[in-house]
Structure formats: structure tokens, C-alpha cells
Amino acid sequence: MSNDPYAKNVHFCPSCDKDGPETDFEFIGLVPELGNIARYRCKICEAVFEELPPSFSPHQLNYQRRLDFLSAFGEEFSETLSSTVGEDNITPQDAYEITLRTFGREPNAEMLKSLSEAQLDLLRAECQRYFECDGIVLEKIRIAVARTLARL
Ligand SMILES: [Zn+2]
């Protein structure tokens, strides 16, 4: 068995702390609030976990920190903007999608910390397109980002 985390048909179980062949895992489904990453159950230890996109190696980053970031960003973003766009029109995964559309890459804490005023405004403009809603003020975007970073 290959130990290459990028090899196909191999998954990394964070509970067993090792790679295993696909036959050791049961695919449960996609998790929309975490940006449609896949959820698996390990048949060896019974742990249920979410797998990061293939562009990330679980060996190269703090796995739980990534998940915490995505859920904090999703929650703060939808909570801050819901009064403007309508509670029924926004879900936690929208933060992920809108950031991806705005900057062409997935959000992370370092990216949020480094956003300039101009970039925050790009994010605001993309929000207005995405929700088809005028009147999203820059302050809301700033608050959503600040509250996310404050939780990490
Ligand atoms: Zn396991």
C-alpha cells in the first residue's frame, strides 16, 4: 500500500492517524456547511471524519483547525449578513462559495487577516451579486471577518 497521501483510493483517518485503503472507509456524504468536503466513517476504528479537498494534505496542516475555521467563518458570515439579505437566503456554506468566487481560492484564516480595504470591497460586491441584493455595506463584511478571526 502506498503511503502517498495524494495517491488515489487512499484516505487518511485522523483517529487512526494513518492512511488506509478505500475499502477501510465508508463514504457517508458531502458536508455543505464545510464547503462540500466529504465525510467518511473508518471501518477500523469507527471514527467519523471529514476529508480535506485533495489540494490539501492532512499531514501538512492542523486538520481540526481548518474545520474550525470553516465553520466559524460560515456561521459569522451568515449571522452578520442575514439581516440584510434575509435569513432564508443565506447558509453557512455561502461564505466559502463567495470567497472562492471573489479570489479564486478557498478561504483560510491567513487570507482573511491579510485582506485590504479594496479586497474587502471586492468581497462585498461579490456578495451583492451572489445574493442579488444591493445595500450590503462594507462594515458588515468587516464585522463578519473580525468575528471569525476573534473565534480562532
Ligand atoms: Zn480509523
Q: Are strands 48-51 and 10-13 parallel, antiparallel or unpaired?
A: unpaired
pTM above 0.75, yes or no: no
What pLDDT score does 151 carry? 92
Task: Answer yes or no: are the C-beta atoms of 77 and 95 closer than 8 Å.
Answer: yes
Find the 58 Cα to ligand 1 centroid distance in Å. 14
For position 115, what pLDDT does the model report? 96
Q: Looking at residue 112, what is its pLDDT? A: 96
Q: CA-CA distance, 28 to 72, in Å (whole number)?
A: 23
DSSP state of 6: T
Percent of the chain past pLDDT 70, that is, above it, reads 88
Ligand 1 (single-atom ion) residues, CB below 5 Å: 13, 15-16, 42, 44-45, 47
Question: d(Cα 152, Cα 63) in Å, to the nearest integer?
Answer: 14
What is the distance in A from the centroid of ligand 1 to the CA of 109? 28
Are 40 and 46 in contact, with CB atoms under 8 Å apart? no
pLDDT digits (tens, 9 = 90+) for 48-96: 998 876 665 555 556 778 888 999 999 999 999 999 999 999 999 999 9
For residue 58, the model assigns a pLDDT of 55
